[in-house]
Amino acid sequence: MRLMKKLLLGAFVSAAFLGCATTGVDKAVLEAAMAPGPINWNNWYVSVPLENAEGNGKATSIFTEDIVNNNFTDEQKKYFMTNEDGSYTLFTHFTGYTTSGQYDFRKSGKYCRTELREFYRGNQDTNDNWSMDEGLHQMESTLKVEYLPEKVKGTYVAQIHGISDEYTKENTVRTGNPATVKVLYQPGGDLLIEYYRAPAENPDEKEWTSSAHEKIQIGNVGNEVFTIKLKVENGVLYYGLTCEAKGIDVGYKKLYNYAKNGYNYRNYFKTGNYFGYNVDGEKYSQVVLFDVKTFHSNN
């Protein structure tokens, strides 16, 4: 409980600072959104690598009502567990069941996850997404990677994911669902941000992919508790990172201007344990989620 109280106090101080520093956003409104308190599960669902009830090879989604009521099957509890201190343990390994379908070992280039996916306005609909074009969109997620084996790529702990949803298809010629911004936790505790840049030609029309992307190392958090922060303000991407045990306190730093480079996908935040390993089903990763807060100025 002491750890949780310390984390929540740190999140409050951080939110207050950001409220002062962010132009065009009421400080009190931002503070209220980012203040300590339970996760607002109306704005999230959890994906676990079990085949869904339809039997179509896709992963299982656990929605708000079941999460709030701790209503999980015994199989689901292996992957997503509520802890006594209010945190959540997210376990995953390769089962073949992904959000896009069922895949075999090695051959697919696909990975399994126990991960939260955002609903922008809490509408419990995958068309409930936001645009980078204007406003402030912010997520701060406090986590600890409890276990990650050696000699693996790592596990992704936070994302901004693009999507060609109904709005996008009606208003643009955009295709694809780019994993636009990803935060990778690597063996040994290094954190790496991978972010897509504009295609070399026709960025307004062509699909954004990893063929044009940058990677930067932002810090080493070991196996300590840390808070990863992602923000898009008027189309510009920023990141921040804190880890008290490692003496890390990085305020928001600018990375890339998506609005000026033809990016017109809708988006959603993700956080959790997206394990970058598909060679076998034996190796696993385990992450504890203490808190996650989001804010959207045009919600």
Whole-model pTM? Answer: 0.90
Average pLDDT over residues 173-197: 93
According to the model, what pLDDT value does residue 209 have? 86
According to the model, what pLDDT value does residue 33 have? 85
**Cβ 198 vs Cβ 218: under 8 Å:** no
According to the model, what pLDDT value does residue 22 have? 57
pLDDT in tens, 58-117: 999 999 999 999 999 999 999 999 999 999 999 999 999 999 899 988 766 799 999 999
pLDDT in tens, 188-236: 999 999 999 998 877 777 788 888 889 999 999 999 999 999 999 999 9
Question: pLDDT over 70 for what percent of the chain?
Answer: 88
Ordered domains of the chain (ranges, CATH): 2-296 (2.60.120.200)
pLDDT over 60 at 11, yes or no:
no
